[in-house]
Amino acid sequence: MKALHDSNVTNQFGPRAKAYVESAVHSQGADLARIGEIAAATAPARAIDLGCGGGHVTYAMAPHAAETFACDLSTDMLAAVRDTAAARGFDGVRTTRTSVEALPFESASFDMLGCRFSAHHWQDVDAGLREGRRVLKPGAPAVFVDVVAPPAPLLDTHLQGVELLRDTSHVRDYSVLEWQRKLEAAGFAVKQIGTWQLRMDFPVWIARMATPEPLAVAIRMVQDSAAEEVRRHFAIEPDGSFLLDMAIFETVAV
Ligand SMILES: C[S@@+](CC[C@H](N)C(=O)[O-])C[C@H]1O[C@@H](n2cnc3c(N)ncnc32)[C@H](O)[C@@H]1O
């Protein structure tokens, strides 16, 4: 029998925990700084990071929170977060192995939520967002950051195609409009949205996920045969490096 989706996710991410802690794309960014600013203004007793990966949102919130719960499906990611938090002196960091779709926490027990570059892997994004809302107190800030799909189907399909070839546990990069609708349906009021583009260096992007060579070759073939509109939007370079669309959603639990 084939592995279930959540096992595909842990199989993909577990062996790459160190790469995600060290990744420049993941460890830097104005979005992380913004999460830190919101945490500083909130001073949460309990903050939660959904799909913590290498833990960069956790480390942004931890200096301002009494306790920060880093949550992920992957025990290897959580071990890397524990080691890094200890090395940085973040005593309030706790790790919890869980699916975001079924959080093992009481309702209204957190004061801030951060979630970055994870939701596009979730099997049931609506359930994950509902769970995030459930564990937050009303009025608590929740910040979501993710890769977003451009609204044009031509561009959207190209993006999902190369994402799936690179990482076969990819589910979907949602558009800004899809995000807004999903966040509102889950009980978040969207206060502010920011968008930007982030350059993916092709060899680094492929190496981080250890994409098998035939799939990396397939991505290059898809890029090479893409329409001019696609090549222009993603600014595809001769070596396959390109720009990804990102968005940050600053919300409040209703
Ligand atoms: C790209 S990494 C996250 C990066 C990290 N948040 C950051 O800001 O650097 C994606 C993580 O989401 C986790 N993940 C994917 N689906 C999940 C789910 N349904 N529940 C919990 N964690 C999940 C993966 O195990 C992986 O560690």
State the 10-residue block means of pLDDT for the chain, 254 residues long.
88 88 90 98 98 98 98 97 97 98 98 98 98 98 98 98 96 98 98 98 96 98 98 98 98 98
Which residues are bridge partners to 250 per DSSP? 143, 192
* Rounded distance between C-alpha atoms, residue 82 and residue 168, angstroms: 27
Q: Are residues 84 and 62 in contact, defined by beta-carbon separation less than 8 angstroms?
A: no
Beta pairing, strands 141-147 & 242-253: antiparallel
Which atom of ligand 1 lies at the shortest distance from residue 101's CA? 19
Nearest alpha-carbon partner for 178 in 144, 209, 204, 202: 144
- Distance between Cα 254 and ligand 1 center (Å): 25
**What pLDDT sits at residue 225?**
98
Which residues are bridge partners to 112 per DSSP? 47
Instruction: List Cα–Cα distances, 22 to 10, 89, 115, 148, in angstroms.
Output: 18, 18, 18, 23
**What pLDDT sits at residue 151?**
98
Beta pairing, strands 112-116 & 242-253: unpaired
Which atom of ligand 1 lies at the shortest distance from residue 49's CA? 6
Helix (H, G, I), strand (E, B) or coil at 200: strand
Pocket test for ligand 1, best of 121, 126, 200, 248 (most atoms within 8 A of CB): 121
Q: Are residues 173 and 147 in contact, defined by beta-carbon separation less than 8 angstroms?
A: yes
Cβ neighbours, 10 Å, residue 224:
11
Helix (H, G, I), strand (E, B) or coil at 113: strand
Q: Is the CA virtual torsion 30, 32, 37, 41 positive or negative?
A: positive
What is the enclosing helix (H) or strand (E) of 112?
strand 112-116
**What pLDDT sits at residue 24?**
85
Helix (H, G, I), strand (E, B) or coil at 239: coil
**What pLDDT sits at residue 18?**
87
Give yes or no for residue 72 CB within 6 A of ligand 1.
yes
Give yes or no for residue 99 CB within 6 A of ligand 1.
yes
**What pLDDT sits at residue 46?**
98
- Distance between Cα 13 and ligand 1 center (Å): 8
Cβ neighbours, 10 Å, residue 138:
10
Query: What's phi and psi for 63, nearest 5 deg?
Result: -65, -20
- Distance between Cα 184 and ligand 1 center (Å): 22
Q: Are residues 192 and 250 in contact, defined by beta-carbon separation less than 8 angstroms?
A: yes
Give yes or no for residue 114 CB within 6 A of ligand 1.
no
Query: What's phi and psi for 3, nearest 5 deg?
Result: -65, 150
**0.95 exceeded by pTM:** yes
Please, what are the domains in the chain? 5-147+169-196+245-253 (3.40.50.150)
- Distance between Cα 9 and ligand 1 center (Å): 8
**What pLDDT sits at residue 247?**
98
Give yes or no for residue 169 CB within 6 A of ligand 1.
no
